[in-house]
């Protein structure tokens, strides 16, 4: 999404917009199935308990792409909702258009700066002011493993990328697929960011894939990351092109494959199959990333309203970060609460581990945004970078050629 390309009509239309009536909270989201739909219903109840009217604006499909198309139309026509599901640098892009509300009053009253890790809080701000509220935290750098496969082969899950090749080769010789994967660009990038983080560490990752510093990109570390990705690629099966991520997860669940690199939404597939963490499946940090955490945060931007009545919007933001909603939403979603220090007693073991690592990585400055999931880079650069990684995965491109293409893609920031 590139809101900067909206025409002058946006500014003019917003100046004469008719906002949602006071007490009406219209929310654009794409929580339309499974646990997300249940969470949306819970949010509606909580908003209505505060005396407001909930107006659902659900747009299904496309991982939010369809929703962004509809949102642009609404904003240009001068009729934005109270809130819309938007994440990552796109938050600042919308804020730069001058159409978002300032949430500093509610954030100060509820001490968001102490509730949220600074790296997450900064994503929610524009020029130092809160314009969005975070919903949850997904950890992306997970490795999901079938312990029975490892037991049959007689090997342990790899803890470093240096160990990975030998372990994967033994798994394949025993008749199993080493890595379950779906050959889609976002899945390719999900694997690569864990490889890059495991090879170079959080400081390198930040320089190369968040700040897009040419010196970090054009380095031996990036060459090694691509070399390692090529090695991992050879341990994926030939039928992976176009496979959906949940089908790859099913391969691990069913014992056909040993491992999958995927965010913690994969946990929902194991739970739906009646599998127990620690017994039927393992949730492990991707090799070399045990002391780091790549995050994908869902969030809502809040639009300015002409009548200046901020109570519906403020109550919405307050509800999103409240302990009750954080609890119910994240249990349904498979993610963890974004609030630091949230009581995790009702969550499963994988979520407890994720929460502990979330807190620890915040303290050690190794909490980093996922570039595979639109959290790290401006929209102009992120697509170009993801294209490079996916092209590398599916061609004979050399690592040096991939680095050169990354440098070109980074210039689009």
Q: What is the spatial distance between Cα 342 and Cα 155, in angstroms, rounded to a whole number?
A: 36
List Cα–Cα distances, 51 to 142, 179, 219, 350, in angstroms. 41, 50, 56, 36
Give the pLDDT confidence score for residue 64 in this predicted structure. 67
Q: How far is CA 357 from the centre of its chain?
A: 16
Give the pLDDT confidence score for residue 381 in this predicted structure. 87
Give the pLDDT confidence score for residue 70 in this predicted structure. 87
Is the fold of 2-135+298-347 the same as that of 142-295+350-410?
Answer: yes
Instruction: Please say whether the beta carbons of 155 and 167 come within 8 A.
Output: yes
Query: In 33-64, which residue ranges form alpha helices assigned H by DSSP?
Result: 34-49
Instruction: Please say whether the beta carbons of 26 and 82 come within 8 A.
Output: yes
Give the pLDDT confidence score for residue 31 in this predicted structure. 87
Instruction: Please say whether the beta carbons of 370 and 192 come within 8 A.
Output: no
Task: Name the fold adopted by 2-135+298-347.
Answer: D-Maltodextrin-Binding Protein; domain 2 (3.40.190)
Task: Name the fold adopted by 142-295+350-410.
Answer: D-Maltodextrin-Binding Protein; domain 2 (3.40.190)
Give the pLDDT confidence score for residue 335 in this predicted structure. 93
Locate 307 and state its tokens: 């009548």
* DSSP-derived 3-state class of residue 42: helix
Q: What is the spatial distance between Cα 394 and Cα 261, in angstroms, rounded to a whole number?
A: 17
**Closest residue by Cα to residue 299 from 104, 190, 137:** 137
Residues of the chain with pLDDT under 50: 1-22
Q: What is the spatial distance between Cα 185 and Cα 65, in angstroms, rounded to a whole number?
A: 15
Give the pLDDT confidence score for residue 313 in this predicted structure. 94
Domain ranges of the chain: 2-135+298-347, 142-295+350-410
Q: What is the spatial distance between Cα 202 and Cα 211, in angstroms, rounded to a whole number?
A: 12
| DSSP per-residue letters across 312-372 | HHHHHHHHHTSHHHHHHHHHHHS-B-SSTT---TTS-HHHHHHHHHHHHHHHTT-EEE-TT
Count other C-beta atoms under 10 Å from residue 301's C-beta: 27
């Amino acid at each position: 999404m590139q809101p900067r390309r909206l025409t002058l009509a946006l500014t003019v239309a917003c100046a004469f917009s008719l906002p949602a009536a006071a007490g009406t909270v219209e929310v654009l989201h794409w929580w339309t199935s499974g646990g997300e739909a249940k969470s949306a219903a819970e949010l509606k109840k909580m908003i209505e308990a505060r005396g407001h009217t909930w107006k659902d604006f659900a747009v299904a499909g496309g991982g939010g792409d369809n929703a962004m198309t509809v949102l642009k139309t609404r904003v240009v026509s001068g009729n934005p909702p109270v809130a819309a599901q938007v994440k990552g640098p796109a938050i600042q892009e919308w804020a730069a258009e001058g159409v978002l509300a300032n949430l500093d009053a509610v954030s100060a009253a509820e001490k968001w700066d102490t509730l949220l890790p600074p790296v997450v809080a900064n994503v929610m701000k524009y020029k130092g002011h809160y314009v969005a509220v975070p919903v949850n935290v997904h950890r992306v750098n997970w490795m999901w493993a079938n312990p029975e496969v490892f037991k049959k082969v007689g090997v342990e899950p790899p803890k470093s990328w240096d160990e990975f090749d030998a372990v994967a080769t033994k798994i394949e010789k025993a008749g199993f697929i080493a890595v379950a994967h779906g050959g889609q660009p976002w899945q390719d990038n999900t694997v690569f960011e864990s490889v890059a983080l495991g090879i170079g560490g959080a400081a390198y990752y930040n320089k190369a894939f968040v700040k897009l510093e040419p010196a970090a990109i054009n380095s031996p570390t990036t060459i090694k990351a691509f070399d390692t990705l090529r090695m991992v690629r050879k341990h994926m099966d030939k039928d992976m092109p176009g496979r959906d991520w949940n089908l790859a997860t099913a391969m691990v669940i069913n014992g056909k494959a040993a491992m999958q690199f995927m965010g913690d939404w994969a946990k929902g597939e194991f739970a739906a199959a009646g599998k127990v963490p620690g017994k039927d499946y393992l949730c492990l940090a991707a090799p070399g990333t045990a002391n780091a955490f790549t995050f994908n945060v869902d969030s809502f931007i809040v639009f300015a309203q002409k009548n200046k009545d901020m109570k519906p919007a403020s109550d919405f933001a307050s509800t999103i970060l409240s302990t009750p909603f954080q609890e119910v939403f994240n249990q349904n979603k498979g993610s963890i609460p974004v609030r630091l220090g949230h009581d995790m007693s009702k969550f499963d073991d994988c979520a407890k581990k994720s929460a502990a690592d979330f807190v620890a990585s915040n303290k050690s400055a190794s909490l980093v945004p996922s570039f595979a999931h639109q959290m790290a880079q401006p929209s102009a650069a992120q697509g170009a970078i993801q294209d490079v990684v996916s092209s590398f995965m599916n061609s004979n491109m050399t690592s040096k050629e991939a680095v050169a293409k990354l440098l070109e893609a980074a210039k689009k920031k």
